[in-house]
């Protein structure tokens, strides 16, 4: 957020005006299944993180100093749990606003015996700003973010210059921002935004997209897309300064 926007917001808040933020999601009121509700009750005390508790101390949260990978908008958490299970030498934090998704993720993590995963049920933009220390993350993952197809909704896309700059400050030097999308117009937008930030270096040998890395699990959704001939674009950018 620019300084003048910030000042205008603070002034409006002091005057008691209601400010409607542009968010990258619409909160859906999905019902929890019994399994999701039970998983939330059972696992939240050990795996849940609260935005209101502020800045995290990763070594305290995980009980070790392993690298931390943060995933934004994990959906039902299938690929996040699989990645956490496959990489016990890393720690994972998932952020999702959709409660049934959070419940599904915890249910899956519990069934798989995954212990290196914590989750937030909150807006990732606010979690990044308020709970994550600067230069603390080894990787940020953003897989299939809501594409907001219509032009008038493009401002709701989470990948924007200001978001990327905030995210950069949370990555360590050498840390990577990995995005994937099945919407070509969004892939092109991501590329343009990332190329506009001189603190990142594109890991693509062709200076655009990278092949899907093996460690990103192929989801059912993506497999279906492949069968239907849809494309998927992966982008990986390293923080170099
Ligand atoms: C199209 S879904 C993709 C889910 C998952 N990554 C996958 O590949 O199946 C996008 C998800 O991002 C979540 N989301 C969007 N904006 C978010 C935000 N600001 N903070 C947290 N989650 C967000 C939505 O609730 C939704 O579940």
Q: List per-residue pLDDT tens for the chain, 241 residues long.
A: 556 656 766 676 667 655 568 899 988 778 999 999 999 999 999 999 999 999 999 999 999 999 999 999 999 999 999 999 999 999 999 999 999 999 999 999 999 999 999 999 999 999 999 999 999 999 999 999 999 999 999 999 999 999 999 999 999 999 999 999 999 999 999 999 999 999 999 999 999 999 999 999 988 778 888 888 889 999 999 999 9
Residue 139 annotated as binding? no
Residue with CA nearest ligand 1 atom 21: 96
Q: Identify the pLDDT of residue 29.
A: 76
Burial (CB < 10 A; 0-12, 13-18, 19+), residue 63, is exposed
| Terminal-to-terminal C-alpha distance of the chain | 20
Cα of 57 from ligand 1 centre, angstroms: 25
Write the CA distances from 120 to 8, 41, 65, 96, 124, integer angstroms: 29, 14, 20, 6, 8
Give the separation between CA 70 and CA 68, rounded to whole angstroms: 6
Cα of 11 from ligand 1 centre, angstroms: 31
Domains of the chain, residue spans: 32-239
Length of the chain: 241
Predicted TM-score (pTM) of this structure: 0.92
Contact 173, 138 (CB under 8 A): no
CATH architecture under which domain 32-239 falls: 3-Layer(aba) Sandwich (3.40)
Residue with CA nearest ligand 1 atom 1: 146
Identify the CA nearest to 180 among candidates 235, 110, 116, 137: 235
Pairing verdict, β 200-202 and 137-143: unpaired
Cα of 29 from ligand 1 centre, angstroms: 14
Q: Which atom belonging to ligand 1 lies closest to the Cα atom of 78?
A: 9
**3-state secondary structure at position 50:** coil
Find all residues with CB under 8 Å of 170, minimum gap 6, and list them: 70, 128, 132, 133, 134, 135, 136, 137, 140
Give the separation between CA 107 and CA 37, rounded to whole angstroms: 9
What's 115-169 look like in SS3? CCEEEEECCHHHHHHHHCCCCCEEEEEEECCCCCCCHHHHHHCCCCHHHHHHHHH
Give the separation between CA 159 and CA 241, rounded to whole angstroms: 20
């Amino acid at each position: 957020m620019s300084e003048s926007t910030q000042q205008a917001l603070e002034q409006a808040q002091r005057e008691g005006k209601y400010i409607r933020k542009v968010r990258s999601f619409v909160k859906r009121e999905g019902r929890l299944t019994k399994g999701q509700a039970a998983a939330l009750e059972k696992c939240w005390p050990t795996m849940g993180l609260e935005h209101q508790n502020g800045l995290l101390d990763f070594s305290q949260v995980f009980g070790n100093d392993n690298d931390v990978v943060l995933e934004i908008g994990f959906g039902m958490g299938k690929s996040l749990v699989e990645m956490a299970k496959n990489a016990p030498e890393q720690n994972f934090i998932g952020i999702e606003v959709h409660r049934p998704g959070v419940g599904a993720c915890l249910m899956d993590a519990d069934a798989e015996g995954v212990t290196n995963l914590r989750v937030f049920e909150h807006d990732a933009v606010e979690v990044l700003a308020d709970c994550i220390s600067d230069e603390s993350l080894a990787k940020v993952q953003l897989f299939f973010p809501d594409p907001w197809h219509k032009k008038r909704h493009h401002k709701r896309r989470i990948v924007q210059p200001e978001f990327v700059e905030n995210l950069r400050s949370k990555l360590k030097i050498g840390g990577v921002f990995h995005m994937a999308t099945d919407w070509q117009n969004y892939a092109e937008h991501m590329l343009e935004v990332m190329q506009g930030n001189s603190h990142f270096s594109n890991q693509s040998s062709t200076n655009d997209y990278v092949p899907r890395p093996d460690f990103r699990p192929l989801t059912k959704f993506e497999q279906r897309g492949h069968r239907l001939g849809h494309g998927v674009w992966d982008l990986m950018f390293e923080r170099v300064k």
